Amino acid sequence: MNLFRTGILMAFLTGLFIAVGYLIGGGPGMAIAFLFAAGTNLFAYWNSDKMVLSMYGARAVDETTAPDLVHIVRQLAEADGLPMPKVYIAENDQPNAFATGRSPEHAAVCATSGLLRSVSKEELAGVLAHELSHVKNRDTLTMTIVATVGGAIGMLANFAFFLGGGRRNNPLGFVGVILVSILAPIAAMLVQMAISRSREFEADRSGAVLSGRPLWLASALERIESAAERIENPEAEANPATAHMFIVNPLHGGGLSGLFASHPSTEERIARLKAMATEMGQAPKPGPWD
């Protein structure tokens, strides 16, 4: 159901992009919007991982420089039948993590230094299992495309608002330009956030299955959420379009947080994981990461 819902939302977002192009510039505008969408998606497909890792100053690590982290990633990847992803650490005091890459064969998992200082090995395994589930489900590619198309809609809307955007070809005239400029980016953001929340729930579920201990991830989420509320993430604040990639929202948001949140409620995520643990008949106990 989550995958079907994601497909519907992505189709709606793509249709919105083309519709914005048509309303701004008529038939030619729609064609330009389609070509621009294809070009931006192609660029994002090949370069998004490098761009995001560079934004956060992430450094590659291996068994020599971060043995515990790499060992857990390797065990989980092998258990899930995934190629070994590249592993990175970002020097950031806020506990958090994200995955990126266009496919399981070209994936990277990044943990912040704050995360490595704040959680136990079991909790770290729960977080990494969540991120590898994003990789396996190709959520990293999905969310990159969604973010790119959403950003492109905003660019088209700004073009229409500030430059007029071909009003003579616009079926709705000047009023249409103004309405599209205001409403289209809001609609795109709502769709983007809905897709992100849906994929987070699925990664929680499949990650908990992979680690075999839903409560490991539940405990980690509680710890990360508490720290993220107190500790800022300057790189994320400077690049808010990447916030959806993290396991917990790295931003310190304001009003309408529920409507525009890039992540589901942490309380609801924890409740679902606890329900999974109950169904599996499992209680916390030392695991293979010790």
The pLDDT tens digits along the chain (290 residues) read: 455 666 676 677 777 777 777 776 666 766 776 777 677 767 777 887 888 899 999 999 999 999 999 999 999 999 999 999 999 999 999 999 999 988 899 999 999 999 999 999 999 999 999 999 999 988 877 776 676 666 667 667 766 666 555 545 555 556 666 666 677 777 777 776 777 788 899 999 999 999 999 999 999 999 999 999 999 999 988 887 788 889 999 987 654 444 456 788 999 999 999 999 999 987 655 444 44
The confidence score (pLDDT) of residue 232 equals: 93
Q: What is the DSSP code string of 119-184?
A: S-HHHHHHHHHHHHHHHHTTHHHHHHHHHHHHHHHHHHHHHHHHH---GGG-TTHHHHHHHHHHHH
Distance (Å, whole) CA 265 – CA 221: 11
The confidence score (pLDDT) of residue 175 equals: 61
The confidence score (pLDDT) of residue 289 equals: 44
Amino acid at 206: S
- Residues annotated as part of the active site: 131
Q: Which helix (H) or strand (E) holds 89?
A: strand 86-90
The model carries a pTM of: 0.79
The confidence score (pLDDT) of residue 256 equals: 44
The confidence score (pLDDT) of residue 53 equals: 92
